[in-house]
Structure 1
Amino acid sequence: MRWSPDHYLKYADHRLRPALDLLARIPLDQAEQVVDLGCGPGNMVEALLEAFPTAKLTGIDNSEEMLARAREVFANQATWQHADVNSWTPKTSPDLIFSNAALQWLGDHASLFPRLFGFVPSGGVLAVQMPNQFAQPSHVLMREVARDGPWAEVLKPLLRPAPVANPEDYYGWLKPQAKSIDVWQTEYTHDLKGDDPVLDWISSTALNPLLGALLGDQREDFQSAVAQKLRSAYPKQADGTTLFAFKRLFVVAVKA
């Protein structure tokens, strides 16, 4: 699966807002070792270093395309490492593991979250934000179209169960190691411009694996079918703006 930094960053301001909201709730005055887990194109580097100016920052991602952009733009501001989060182990214990819009791509959160939390020392923090759109129209309609059409045989095996659990699950998984846990959800209303902006948004994220599995006319037909459904679910306002409601789950856990 290939990722496009340019496409992802098209909505950079909207995507950055929840990451900054997460950062604002981290109860650390200083940190020497900070890991940006699933760092993407590095768009949180400057904010993390502003919050923790003495920190050694390491960005981890499994996309070479995203890391190439991060190295190009922020070469000297962090160490960039290609790794699979499922098997990643830090060489030294980070004071903060920060993960914005990444861990929803991984399964078995009941094991993953305690394992990641185990890497931080006493007083350290695991801070995570994940999109929680599985039951929202954008993602429900995407799956409906994937299951219905000449592409169904190819796409149905790629459809995943809900990747994000309930807030109380994360509390329960992390509590045995935690001094404190802050879990909350926020629904953002993004004002998007242009034609089919919701399709454009999800094409660089949730829809990307499905589009990548199709070729030629079939890919275009599938994309058009999804677009038609999304136009009905997210109609333009009188001024041409499309309002896109987007739910996100946040977890900030401090190690005991």
Structure 2
Amino acid sequence: MKWDPTQYSRFSGLRDRPFHDLLGRVGADAPAWVTDLGCGSGELTAVLAARWPDAAVRGIDSSVDMIGSARALEGAPANLDFSAGSIQDWEPPQGQGPGVLLSNAALQWVPGHQELLRHWSKQLDAGSWIAVQVPGNFGALSHVLMRELAQTPRWSSALAGVLRGEDSVSEPDEYLELLVEAGYDADVWETSYQQVLAGSDPVLDWVRGTALRPVMNALPAGDYQAFEAEYGQLLRTAYPPKSWGTVFPFRRIFLVARKRA
């Protein structure tokens, strides 16, 4: 799927906040390695490299455009490296000691990522940390309206199977059970951010950077513009602006866990 680093970086302050809330609960002191799966354009991976300057820090993303932006970061720490690759293909480093596996707002794109978490949890050395954040808003109007529009007669053929539903992520209790049964001390929680967006059509502008990407990739440009126009009208009704901005609630699910000895 093609990503646009510039579009994604819009609203970066709001998009970055869950990362910092996640990272704040990771208690690793001196990991040998740190891997950021789904690193995007790399700015937040650089934060990891600065926090753990003695660790080998790598950001991995399936988007060549995102990795290109990441490699062009100015002033990147010397212990930071980026590579293009699939989350599904990643394997924990062997023989290097405890590390930190972090994935911020990426695993929701990977069907069956729960099995990957189980696999990784077995491979990691004792003392390693897993830190994951996924959006838990697949039942929000922004997603529901998109899926409902995609299922209408005009779009159902071209968009069949393109958009996933609430099964994209698990509920917090399911992640907690997975990690505890794998031998981890786990902390799992959720937060609903009441985001206030500015500008005209701000919710549409937000989802252009994320949730709409599969539709953009599936439709020819002209058809996509027609779909976006219909969808934008639905969003304007669902998220009416106030005099001080448009409220866009966003639920996110967090899991931080350390493997017991």
Unaligned runs of 5+ in 2: none
User: How far does residue 51 in structure 1 lie from its aligned partner after superposition?
Assistant: 2.4
User: How far does residue 53 in structure 1 lie from its aligned partner after superposition?
Assistant: 2.4
> Who is 2:189 aligned against?
184
List aligned pairs for 1:150-189, cutoff 5 A. Answer: 150-161=154-165, 162-189=167-194
User: How far does residue 76 in structure 1 lie from its aligned partner after superposition?
Assistant: 4.8
Decide which moves more: 161-170 or 2-11: 161-170
Residue 4 of structure 1 aligns with an amino acid whose one-letter code is: D
CA separation in 2, counterparts of 1:68 and 1:207?
A: 22
> Who is 1:69 aligned against?
69
Asked if the contact 1:151–1:218 (Cα under 8 Å) also holds between the matched residues in 2, the reply is no
Asked if the contact 1:40–1:66 (Cα under 8 Å) also holds between the matched residues in 2, the reply is yes
User: How far does residue 33 in structure 1 lie from its aligned partner after superposition?
Assistant: 0.6
> Who is 2:18 aligned against?
18
Listed one character per residue, the Cα deviations across residues 125-181 of structure 1 (whole Å, up to 9, x for unaligned) are 000000111111110111111111422201122122321111121122222333310
> Who is 1:139 aligned against?
143
CA separation in 2, counterparts of 1:41 and 1:208?
A: 16
Asked if the contact 1:178–1:253 (Cα under 8 Å) also holds between the matched residues in 2, the reply is no
Partner SS for 2:60 = strand
Instruction: State yes or no: 1:97 paired with 2:68.
Output: no
Give the TM-score taking structure 1 as reference length: 0.94
Instruction: State yes or no: 1:49 paired with 2:53.
Output: no
Q: Give the length in aligned residue pairs.
A: 255
> Over aligned residues, Cα RMSD in angstroms?
1.6
Partner SS for 1:89 = coil
Residue 175 of structure 1 aligns with an amino acid whose one-letter code is: V
> Who is 1:223 aligned against?
228
Listed one character per residue, the Cα deviations across residues 39-76 of structure 1 (whole Å, up to 9, x for unaligned) are 01002123212322222111111110100000011585
Residue 13 of structure 1 aligns with an amino acid whose one-letter code is: G
Residue 97 of structure 1 aligns with an amino acid whose one-letter code is: L
CA separation in 1, counterparts of 2:162 and 2:46?
A: 35
Residue 254 of structure 1 aligns with an amino acid whose one-letter code is: R
Give the TM-score taking structure 2 as reference length: 0.93
> Who is 2:215 aligned against?
210
Asked if the contact 2:195–2:247 (Cα under 8 Å) also holds between the matched residues in 1, the reply is yes
CA separation in 2, counterparts of 1:251 and 1:166?
A: 11
List aligned pairs for 1:76-115, cutoff 5 A. Answer: 76-77=76-77, 78-92=80-94, 95-115=99-119
Instruction: State yes or no: 1:243 paired with 2:247.
Output: yes
Unaligned runs of 5+ in 1: none
User: How far does residue 32 in structure 1 lie from its aligned partner after superposition?
Assistant: 2.3
Partner SS for 2:3 = coil
Partner SS for 1:154 = coil
Asked if the contact 1:120–1:126 (Cα under 8 Å) also holds between the matched residues in 2, the reply is no
User: How far does residue 191 in structure 1 lie from its aligned partner after superposition?
Assistant: 1.5
Asked if the contact 1:116–1:126 (Cα under 8 Å) also holds between the matched residues in 2, the reply is no
User: How far does residue 108 in structure 1 lie from its aligned partner after superposition?
Assistant: 1.2
Residue 84 of structure 1 aligns with an amino acid whose one-letter code is: S
Asked if the contact 2:108–2:168 (Cα under 8 Å) also holds between the matched residues in 1, the reply is yes
Asked if the contact 1:96–1:120 (Cα under 8 Å) also holds between the matched residues in 2, the reply is no
CA separation in 2, counterparts of 1:119 and 1:125?
A: 12
Partner SS for 2:188 = strand
> Who is 2:36 aligned against?
36
CA separation in 1, counterparts of 2:193 and 2:242?
A: 17
CA separation in 2, counterparts of 1:56 and 1:224?
A: 45
